[in-house]
Amino acid sequence: MHLFLTYTILGLVTGAVYGIAASGLVLTYTTSGIFNFAQGAMAMLAAFTYWQLRYGWNWPAPLALFAVIAVLAPLLGGVLYVGIMRGLRETADVTKIVVTIGIMLGLIALAQWIWNPGVPRTDNLFFGEAAKFKLLGVYVTDHEAIALGCAVLIAVGIRLLFTSTRTGVAMRAVVDNPALLQLNGGRPGRLAAFSWALGGALAAVAGILITPISGGTLDVHVLTLLVLDSIAAAMFGRLRSIWRTFGGGLVLGLAGTYVLGYFPSSWSWASDFRIALPMIVLFVVLIVLPQDRLRGATLLRTRERFTVPTMRTAVTWGLILLVVVLLLEQIMGANDMGALTIGITYGIIALSLTLLTGYAGEINLAPVSFGAIATIIVFHLGLSGTGLAQRITPWGLLIGVAVTALVGGLIALPALRLRGLYLALATLAFGVFVSDMILADIAPHVLPIFHLHFSIFDEGTLQIPPLKLGPVDLSSTKTFLTTSVCVFILVGIGLIALRRSNYGRRLTAMKDSPAAAATLGQNVVKLKLSVFMLSAAIAGLGGVLLSAASASVTANTYIIFISLALVMLTVVGGIGSVAGALMGGILAGTAFTALTSTFTNLSTDHGGGGIWNTLANLSLVAPALVGISLGRNPSGAVPQIVASYRPLWNVKSVLALGVVAEAVAYVLVLTKVMGNWWFVLATVAVAVAVPALGRVVRPDAFRTGAVTAPPAPGRPAAQSVAVGSAAAVEGVADARS
């Protein structure tokens, strides 16, 4: 009984903190329609800031608390809304999701920049360990009592705000119809900013309270994920009810401690299960939730635009890509080729998103986790030979990909009724579950009856040998690179063919209006299931290649943040196009890693080069900045680049000059006159100079696009800078169709 009470109180306290964090999520979602994936990262940042003030600079606790909870955190929330979220109206679900993911990754990178992760930091309980009192025979620390008190106060406070104050009632009105509220004299923008400030404060309270309870060690990723768990609580309340959100938080907290307390310690997976529990609960709650019936498009048209290339264009660009990579192989060292291979394999995983999100409008936030599943299958079933001669067999690859498709189907089947954000959350839950339970399963098991010894992720590291496809042995870096590029091209062209087929049009129809597709007789569930399985298979294929290219993989290879970064950068590149997937993959797998390591090397080589260190850190934050900027150009970078180059067809002389300049640079590198980095710089210079030169030589060729561009309806005026180019994209797209 005594033990039970101890666990109950611990569970209630954890649950209370979940409730506080989740209520912030509910608040911001109901007033702005944006689900804040960065809530966990905001809580983490607040916990770090509090540590800095309280222990780093020895401020008194009340002052530090006031500064963080009442000043800095609300400021961050408000600034995020005003600076970024406001620009996300009329964008697709995936754009909104990706932008807050960008903020999350940005805050994580920022925290690692400011607070070197190598230095251990701990937060203590309020009033210390000794401050405790006895309740029903068990000790309760003052800190725990404070956490419970805060939760009660916040729950009652929000409830009162919503029901008894003018601001609160207006906040509820914002959700349903911001335009109508505005007509009635309300200010939806100001209310949303207020709710984001409040959300920031709630995140801070949660972050500061939970850190000492969960051991006191400040860890960027652990803290972010800990608060991310509170999403499950928010889902209990269907992102609406504050009471049920807090109730959900308590259920989560209690379930976690009871599992910890009462599962036999001989079950090696019990502690993993406890960590994964909130995500399992999230998945179940999402499935069990009563769902909205099929709805039509909520917007007449979102701002995203994608054009589908013809097969001839697709094949031409495929060949160009192959030639470029073959030429690059002549001048690259083995390390560079290895890095590029990683980028290309990420690109193949990103193609699974092009199909699923770009074509079918469904969201998967854990593509890399599917790659992990395929890798595990291949590792256990698809290898032949031993030692250095060990290879992945084609059959092994096939089985891995097939099993991944089946797993994708199993995940999708219950989640099929979910749409947009809810499906995204279900895949997020799956991804974290894979990391927490499957990849963490490093202890050996014995299969009963068969007495077979096995462990899913043996001792935490798997050595993945290269693939051997008949006569093609990928043990050479160059062959591996060429082969992955060929796989990318084939899958990419296949996707474009698919999009142009009857199946692809049906996917597009389902994406644009599920209701209309269904009333035309389309079995939406079957179609979704098939596309989800196909997408999982592609992610599995890319994942196996990624693992083989990395040679040695750990659970960190597939951590959810990698998936999130890949999703974000793919959307940045352009989720609707194959080239966008390539860009996303290379940015995620190669470019930013290369930049960071280059700057880090420079700073160690040149000693005390603070500027290089800063640049290295900046390049860690950079992907997030890119993601956050997405609101300005939701169609992605590739369509924009295409639009800026298209008029050059009429200025062939400039185009030819550019090709010649690039060829000269290439020859200089080939003859070792120039280094590789200079080649990169020269390429960037040519890429920028060519359209600029074209504009100077033939201004008229560039103007036509702008003239035919239709006025963009409903675009906030603040975005006029980006509108010019985005409108040009539309103009070109419209002229072509």
Partner 1 sequence: MPVLEVSDVSMAFGGAQVLSDVSLSVAAGGVTGLIGPNGVGKTTLFNIVSGLLEPKTGRVRIDGHDVTRAGPASRARRGLARTYQRLELFTSLSVRDNIRVAGEIRNSWSRRGRINVSAETERTIELVGLGDVAEREVSELPTGRARVVEVARALMTQPKVLLLDEPASGQTEQETEAFGRLLGQLVDERGLAICLVEHDVGLVMGTCALIHVLDYGEIIASGTPDEVRSDPVVVNAYLGTP
The CA-CA-CA angle for residues 569, 511, 359, to 5°, reads: 45
d(CA 621, CA 490): 33
Region of 98-106, 292-300, 638-646, 699-707 interacting with partner 1 (CB under 8 A)? 292-300
> Which residue has 């916990």 as its token pair?
47
Q: Closer to partner 1 at the Cβ: 526 or 652?
A: 526
Q: Applying CB under 8 A, which of residues 479, 522, 613, 708 lies at the interface with partner 1?
A: 522
* In the complex, minimum distance from the CB of residue 349 to partner 1, in angstroms, rounded to a whole number: 24
CA distances, 553 to each of 265, 371, 464, 546 (Å): 28, 12, 7, 9
If we measure between CA atoms, which residue out of 443, 103, 52 comes closest to residue 272? 443
Q: Cα dihedral sign for 430, 435, 436, 442?
A: positive
Q: Applying CB under 8 A, which of residues 310, 519, 604, 614 lies at the interface with partner 1?
A: 519
* In the complex, minimum distance from the CB of residue 576 to partner 1, in angstroms, rounded to a whole number: 9
Q: Applying CB under 8 A, which of residues 521, 607, 608, 610 lies at the interface with partner 1?
A: 521
If we measure between CA atoms, which residue out of 467, 478, 431, 615 comes closest to residue 551? 467
d(CA 514, CA 27): 29
Q: Closer to partner 1 at the Cβ: 509 or 657?
A: 509
Binding mask 660-699 for partner 1 (x = CB under 8 A): ----------------------------------------
Q: Is 707 in the site for partner 1 (CB under 8 A)?
A: no
* In the complex, minimum distance from the CB of residue 708 to partner 1, in angstroms, rounded to a whole number: 12
Q: Is 301 in the site for partner 1 (CB under 8 A)?
A: yes
* In the complex, minimum distance from the CB of residue 286 to partner 1, in angstroms, rounded to a whole number: 21
* In the complex, minimum distance from the CB of residue 417 to partner 1, in angstroms, rounded to a whole number: 11
Q: Is 296 in the site for partner 1 (CB under 8 A)?
A: yes
* In the complex, minimum distance from the CB of residue 293 to partner 1, in angstroms, rounded to a whole number: 6
Q: Cα dihedral sign for 206, 439, 592, 574?
A: negative
Name the strand (E) or helix (H) holding 661: helix 652-670
Q: Closer to partner 1 at the Cβ: 523 or 614?
A: 523
Q: Is 1 in the site for partner 1 (CB under 8 A)?
A: no
Residue 57: helix, strand or coil by DSSP? coil
Residues 6+ apart with CB under 8 A from 548: 392, 464, 465, 466, 467, 474, 480
CB 30 within 8 A of CB 191: no
d(CA 439, CA 575): 28
270-288 vs 242-262: helix crossing angle, rounded to 10: 150
Cα of first residue to Cα of last residue in the chain, in angstroms, is 73
Q: Closer to partner 1 at the Cβ: 142 or 512?
A: 512
Footprint on residues 306-365 left by partner 1 (CB under 8 A): 306
Q: Is 96 in the site for partner 1 (CB under 8 A)?
A: no
Q: Closer to partner 1 at the Cβ: 289 or 509?
A: 509
Region of 371-379, 398-406, 522-530, 560-568 interacting with partner 1 (CB under 8 A)? 522-530
d(CA 76, CA 523): 45
* In the complex, minimum distance from the CB of residue 189 to partner 1, in angstroms, rounded to a whole number: 26
Q: Applying CB under 8 A, which of residues 513, 596, 640, 725 lies at the interface with partner 1?
A: 513
Q: Is 290 in the site for partner 1 (CB under 8 A)?
A: no
Residues 6+ apart with CB under 8 A from 628: 84, 99, 102, 103, 106
Footprint on residues 25-84 left by partner 1 (CB under 8 A): none
d(CA 475, CA 191): 59
* In the complex, minimum distance from the CB of residue 308 to partner 1, in angstroms, rounded to a whole number: 9
**Single-letter amino acid code for the residue at 330:** Q
Interface with partner 1 (CB under 8 A), residue total 28
Q: Applying CB under 8 A, which of residues 287, 515, 529, 595 lies at the interface with partner 1?
A: 515
Residue 470 — φ and ψ, nearest 5°?
Answer: 60, -120
* In the complex, minimum distance from the CB of residue 510 to partner 1, in angstroms, rounded to a whole number: 9
* In the complex, minimum distance from the CB of residue 529 to partner 1, in angstroms, rounded to a whole number: 14
Q: Is 518 in the site for partner 1 (CB under 8 A)?
A: yes
The DSSP code for 300 is S
- The upper half-sphere exposure of residue 166, i.e. CA atoms within 13 Å in the direction of its Cβ, equals 5
| Helices and strands (H, E) in the chain, number of each type | 31, 10
Q: Is 712 in the site for partner 1 (CB under 8 A)?
A: no
Region of 74-82, 129-137, 499-507, 545-553 interacting with partner 1 (CB under 8 A)? 499-507
d(CA 164, CA 180): 21
Residue 445 — φ and ψ, nearest 5°?
Answer: -110, 160
Residues 6+ apart with CB under 8 A from 654: 648, 690, 693, 694, 697, 698
Q: Closer to partner 1 at the Cβ: 91 or 369?
A: 91
Q: Applying CB under 8 A, which of residues 523, 556, 601, 653 lies at the interface with partner 1?
A: 523
Q: Closer to partner 1 at the Cβ: 301 or 445?
A: 301
Region of 109-117, 288-296, 392-400, 602-610 interacting with partner 1 (CB under 8 A)? 288-296
Q: Is 672 left (phi over 0), alpha (psi -120 to 50) or beta?
A: left
Q: Closer to partner 1 at the Cβ: 80 or 496?
A: 496
Q: Closer to partner 1 at the Cβ: 67 or 515?
A: 515
d(CA 668, CA 670): 5
Q: Is 300 in the site for partner 1 (CB under 8 A)?
A: yes
Q: Is 734 in the site for partner 1 (CB under 8 A)?
A: yes
Region of 86-94, 365-373, 407-415, 516-524 interacting with partner 1 (CB under 8 A)? 516-524
| Beta bridge pairs of residue 141 | 132
Q: Closer to partner 1 at the Cβ: 32 or 508?
A: 508
> Which residue has 């890319």 as its token pair?
542
**Single-letter amino acid code for the residue at 240:** R
Q: Is 240 in the site for partner 1 (CB under 8 A)?
A: no
Q: Applying CB under 8 A, which of residues 506, 632, 695, 698 lies at the interface with partner 1?
A: 506
Region of 230-238, 311-319, 521-529, 718-726 interacting with partner 1 (CB under 8 A)? 521-529
Q: Is 714 in the site for partner 1 (CB under 8 A)?
A: no
Q: E strands of 347-447, at which residues?
A: 383-384, 391-392, 445-447
The CA-CA-CA angle for residues 37, 540, 362, to 5°, reads: 45
Region of 289-297, 315-323, 459-467, 476-484 interacting with partner 1 (CB under 8 A)? 289-297
* In the complex, minimum distance from the CB of residue 515 to partner 1, in angstroms, rounded to a whole number: 6
Q: Is 511 in the site for partner 1 (CB under 8 A)?
A: yes
Q: Closer to partner 1 at the Cβ: 187 or 500?
A: 500
- Hey, what are 619's tokens? 């390049």
Region of 30-38, 107-115, 464-472, 506-514 interacting with partner 1 (CB under 8 A)? 506-514
Q: Closer to partner 1 at the Cβ: 505 or 703?
A: 505
Q: Is 517 in the site for partner 1 (CB under 8 A)?
A: yes
Q: Is 502 in the site for partner 1 (CB under 8 A)?
A: yes
CA dihedral of 418, 421, 422, 423, whole degrees rounded to 10: 60
Name the strand (E) or helix (H) holding 151: helix 142-164
* In the complex, minimum distance from the CB of residue 628 to partner 1, in angstroms, rounded to a whole number: 26
Q: Is 241 in the site for partner 1 (CB under 8 A)?
A: no
Q: Applying CB under 8 A, which of residues 160, 520, 663, 688 lies at the interface with partner 1?
A: 520
Contacts with partner 1 by CB under 8 A lie at 293-294, 296-297, 300-301, 306, 502, 505-506, 508-509, 511-513, 515-524, 710, 734, 737
